[in-house]
Structure 1
Amino acid sequence: MKTLRGSKVPVSALGFGAATLGNLFREVTDDDAYAAVDTAWEAGVRYFDTAPHYGLGLSERRLGLALSGRPRDAYTLSTKVGRLLEPGGPGGPASLDDGFVVAADQHRVWDFSADGVRRSIEDSLTRLGVDRIDVVYLHDADACGDGGEQALREAYPALERLRAEGVVGAIGAGMNHVAPLERYVTETDADVVLCAGRYSLLDQRAGLSLLPEALRRGRSVVIGGVFNSGLLADPQPGATYDYKAASVDLLGRALRIKSITEAHGVPLRAAALNFPFRHPAVASVLVGMRSAAEAADAAAMLARDVPSDLWDELKDEGLLTP
């Protein structure tokens, strides 16, 4: 376990990314969702991340139930603010709603106001069935209409006040883009940033300035999307990269990386999971797990030893930024 820099909040190296529990792209049964959490727990996972956005609250409700029998002080829980869930929607049977196969009986409303932050946290506490949340991220603030300025101007100060009051233990921002996260590292007193998909075997943009700056300023970084939504888990025609069909060039690059990792006796998934920890600013890696088998595999892949000459060969081949 590592402690998020500047806070007292611990996180396990392997974190449970619970977007899958919100039926990301396809339905997950309750039994499979709970089995995934149980297996991850048995493997030592103690950090669980969710958000209201994931399945219109389904992820939070399922995760809360899955963790309900465990001591609250034994695990770290993070969720996100920025999207409020309002009643009313087309309803009907399950459908692909913003990537999640759920009944659209609610709709999302962007809200990075101070009142919106407090309401979002209160709603999340209810859905999760807990009395506190350890880490709160501003979620996808760069995707909001004003480019995230309201999040910096109103939502972030509200999180600072909640941290000072002891309502939350650590605060930060979670996004898919590097530049906005750098603003939170350099312009605020955030404890942690969650960077999704931008520090992987296929995309090392976060390593150029975000990670070095976070280390210099004493901030922690949590990495998500190490498989880039699937391509690095199983590179083959039809695989997805950042939730879209991977290009021929990207597929070829992934296959080249796979051939090198396997030549060293290391599965590609193991290399992808271990790669972020080569930078000391990284505290945890979040992995989506939708079944017991996926949870067991993630834990096993992270535990694999990766020889240093594998990384050297990837750099020599121009597949990793030096």
Structure 2
Amino acid sequence: MRYNRLGHSSVEITELSFGAAAIGNLFTEVAPEQAAAAVDAAWQEGVRHFDTAPHYGTGLSERRLGEALRTRPRDAYTVSTKAGRVLEPLTAAEAAVPGGLSEGFAVRHTHRRRWDFSGDGIRRSLEDSLERLGLDRVDVVYLHDPDDHAEAAFREGYPALERLRAEGVVGAIGAGMNQTAMLTRFVCDTDVDVVLCAGRFTLLDRSALDALLPEAAARGRSVVVGGVFNSGLLADPRPGATYDYATAPAPLVERALRIKAVAERHGVPLRAAALHHSLGHPAVAGVLVGTRSADEVRDAAALLRTPVPGALWDDLRAEGLLDGGALAEPDARPRSGA
């Protein structure tokens, strides 16, 4: 498994990262033993970077990840978490009110998430995360989804992260979002090391090429790409598939099916093409794949090792299926395991 450095920091991550939202019961419950087995499989495949957040299952993801990593040598892996939402316990009366998914997570309603990008909120969030993880440090902290909190995030949240980095509390700082405009502002106007961009550098949405990726490359910042399957459509394109967590429109399904046909002509599964595509820019340090079982982890690692010929990208361009800005040729060499 290859390692890449995050920006100008000393933090290195494996190019395949374990996204721990799913083991926080994203959409459906995951048994504790299944979550632990997923982390074990990631370790066996050479994955050494693990990404989580307080938001994921109101702390469940962090607790499960910390428990699964507890016996591993701390210097052998890196962990990223996020700040911007502080978890507050509900009263007994509030917790007794029945509810559905807790903001997309199948967990009991024991806490509320309160937006807080203040300096004190960032420090409190990190302290709480360390307690849930059972760690004395994390390697990367992102401002999490500051879309509607830009003023607070830039005026208070980012400076707080910068102070934490200067104090040596964290090794690298950044922001994580599902859009490119504000991430580009972070890259251009602050001294972040890395940004986490979800769903905007995929075979179906290459909008990160418009400004984010070129600006990051020019400034020596790193980008970690999440959502490489666009929440499902690039994993299994069919009517009713999801795209950005909603039902995919028919024209987009048809486009995904056409991309799949081209990939299969070259003997490459669509999912492998999607994964390799998102690694195909010099600013990209790694891809983050959310997995909820050992089988899903092993599948992601196998996709990373799948050779993708350059002719596949040529054919996609020829058929008008690889639009957007210039893309550095994705590496076609087979990748080895750990």
TM-score under structure 2 normalisation? 0.93
Once the two structures are superposed, residues 200-226 of structure 1 have per-residue CA deviations (whole angstroms, 9 ceiling, x without a partner) of 000000012110110000100000000
Shift of 1:264: 0.4
Match for 1:209: what amino acid? A
Shift of 1:229: 0.5
2:102 aligned with 1:100: no
Name structure 2 gaps, 5 residues minimum.
327-338
2:95 aligned with 1:91: yes
Contact 1:172 1:192 in 2 (8 A): yes
Match for 2:165: what amino acid? R
Contact 1:233 1:268 in 2 (8 A): yes
* Helix, strand or coil at the partner of 2:208: helix
Quote the Cα distance in structure 1 between the aligned partners of 2:298 and 2:60: 23
Shift of 1:95: 3.3
Quote the Cα distance in structure 2 between the aligned partners of 1:67 and 1:175: 26
Aligned to 1:309: 311
2:175 aligned with 1:159: no
Aligned to 2:332: none
Match for 1:17: what amino acid? G
Correspondence list, 1:127-142, <5 A: 127-142=132-147
Match of 1:109 among 104, 111, 114: 114
Aligned to 1:191: 193
Match for 2:121: what amino acid? G
Quote the Cα distance in structure 1 between the aligned partners of 2:136 and 2:267: 46
Aligned to 1:268: 270
Which structure features the higher share of strand residues?
1
Quote the Cα distance in structure 1 between the aligned partners of 2:85 and 2:187: 22
Quote the Cα distance in structure 2 between the aligned partners of 1:132 and 1:259: 46
For these two proteins, the number of residue pairs brought into alignment is 319
Quote the Cα distance in structure 1 between the aligned partners of 2:24 and 2:179: 23
Shift of 1:156: 0.3
Match of 1:292 among 273, 294, 315: 294
Shift of 1:276: 1.4
* Helix, strand or coil at the partner of 1:109: strand
Contact 1:94 1:102 in 2 (8 A): no
Name structure 1 gaps, 5 residues minimum.
none
2:47 aligned with 1:45: yes
Match of 1:16 among 15, 18, 21: 18
Match of 1:149 among 142, 151, 156: 151
Match of 1:2 among 1, 4, 25: 4
Once the two structures are superposed, residues 73-104 of structure 1 have per-residue CA deviations (whole angstroms, 9 ceiling, x without a partner) of 00010000000000106435783111101001
Correspondence list, 1:130-279, <5 A: 130-144=135-149, 148-279=150-281
Match for 1:109: what amino acid? R
Correspondence list, 1:44-63, <5 A: 44-63=46-65
Shift of 1:174: 0.3
* Helix, strand or coil at the partner of 1:310: helix
Shift of 1:302: 0.9
Quote the Cα distance in structure 1 between the aligned partners of 2:311 and 2:264: 13
Contact 1:197 1:203 in 2 (8 A): yes
Quote the Cα distance in structure 1 between the aligned partners of 2:155 and 2:319: 44
- The percentage of counterpart residues that share the same residue type is 66
* Helix, strand or coil at the partner of 1:133: coil
Match of 1:125 among 122, 127, 130: 130
Quote the Cα distance in structure 2 between the aligned partners of 1:125 and 1:52: 10
Q: Higher mean Cα deviation, 232-241 or 76-85?
A: 232-241
* Helix, strand or coil at the partner of 1:193: strand
Once the two structures are superposed, residues 104-138 of structure 1 have per-residue CA deviations (whole angstroms, 9 ceiling, x without a partner) of 11100000000000000000000000000100000
Match for 1:248: what amino acid? A
Contact 1:81 1:138 in 2 (8 A): yes
Quote the Cα distance in structure 1 between the aligned partners of 2:116 and 2:146: 10
Once the two structures are superposed, residues 173-231 of structure 1 have per-residue CA deviations (whole angstroms, 9 ceiling, x without a partner) of 00001000001000000000000000000000001211011000010000000000011
Contact 1:236 1:251 in 2 (8 A): yes
Once the two structures are superposed, residues 275-298 of structure 1 have per-residue CA deviations (whole angstroms, 9 ceiling, x without a partner) of 011101000100001000000000
Match of 1:70 among 49, 57, 72: 72
Contact 1:94 1:101 in 2 (8 A): no
Match for 2:123: what amino acid? R
* Helix, strand or coil at the partner of 1:141: coil
2:36 aligned with 1:31: no
Quote the Cα distance in structure 2 between the aligned partners of 1:51 and 1:143: 18
Match of 2:284 among 282, 285, 310: 282
Give the alignment's Cα RMSD to 1 decimal.
Answer: 1.0
Shift of 1:143: 3.4
